[in-house]
């Protein structure tokens, strides 16, 4: 087939190709603007069980297994802690609309919390408020509960997290063009 035949096919389906490119670029534009933009703050936490001293008259001699059971309780609580931190009921008490919180289990007893917020100070404030509230809620739900989240090291400096909408729109337009050309090629091949 000569180049003239390809150009003829593209001219015949020009409107379809333009519509596909426009639709793909529009979808990618709105997707880029809907993505969470702002400052991203990450901190890693360790779930540990604090030692609660029983009254002097109830103290029991350690059998050597007490620490093992405390560690197992903390390990088993990791998935529950992630679920609580991601639940809408819990988050609605501490976050507002432009901010978002994500919790991820890294390993047994280790959770990474990521906060995206419009400003650095708001991200830091939200992280502190979230952890204090989580630890207080654990104590209020069960006074015998001695689990709490403890920070591992210092929080990383917040990094700006934003998508470049021009690049996303260009990529969407290219994908739309490629899709349109593929559809035209299949249509021409099968003579539909």
**Confidence at residue 66, expressed as pLDDT on a 0 to 100 scale:** 55
Is residue 65 helix, strand or coil?
coil
Average pLDDT of the residues of the chain: 83
Distance CA 125, CA 131 (A): 10
CA dist 3 and 16 (Å) reads 20
Q: Exposed e or buried b for every residue in 153-169, given b needs 16+ CB within 10 A?
A: eebeebeeeeeebeebb
- The rounded percent of the chain whose pLDDT value lies above 70 is 86
Question: Dihedral angle at the C-alpha atoms of 119, 120, 123, 125, nearest 10 degrees?
Answer: -110
Among 30, 31, 26, smallest CA distance to 173 is for 26
Q: Quick: pLDDT tens for 96-145.
A: 767 888 899 998 889 999 888 888 888 888 888 999 988 888 888 777 66
CB-based contacts of 35: which residues, under 8 Å, 6+ apart? Answer: 163
Please report the domains of the chain, with CATH numbers, ordered by start residue.
Answer: 3-34+164-189 (no CATH), 38-49+66-161 (3.30.70.1130)
Predicted TM-score of the model (pTM): 0.63
């Amino acid at each position: 087939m000569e180049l003239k035949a390809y150009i003829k096919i593209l001219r015949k389906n020009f409107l379809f190709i333009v519509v596909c490119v426009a639709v793909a670029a529009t979808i990618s534009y709105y997707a880029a603007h809907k993505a969470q933009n702002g400052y991203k703050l990450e901190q890693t936490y360790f779930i540990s069980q604090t030692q609660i001293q029983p009254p002097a008259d109830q103290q029991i001699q350690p059998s050597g297994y007490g620490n093992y059971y405390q560690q197992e309780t903390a390990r088993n609580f990791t998935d529950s802690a992630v679920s609580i931190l991601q639940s809408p009921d819990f988050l609605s008490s501490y976050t507002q609309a432009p901010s978002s919180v994500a919790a991820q289990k890294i390993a047994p007893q280790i959770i990474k919390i990521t906060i995206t917020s419009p400003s650095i100070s708001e991200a830091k404030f939200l992280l502190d408020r979230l952890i204090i509230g989580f630890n207080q809620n654990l104590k209020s739900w069960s006074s015998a509960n001695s689990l709490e989240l403890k920070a591992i090291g210092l929080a990383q400096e917040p990094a700006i997290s934003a998508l470049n909408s021009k690049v996303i729109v260009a990529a969407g337009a290219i994908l739309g063009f490629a899709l349109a050309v593929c559809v035209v090629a299949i249509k021409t091949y099968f003579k539909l």
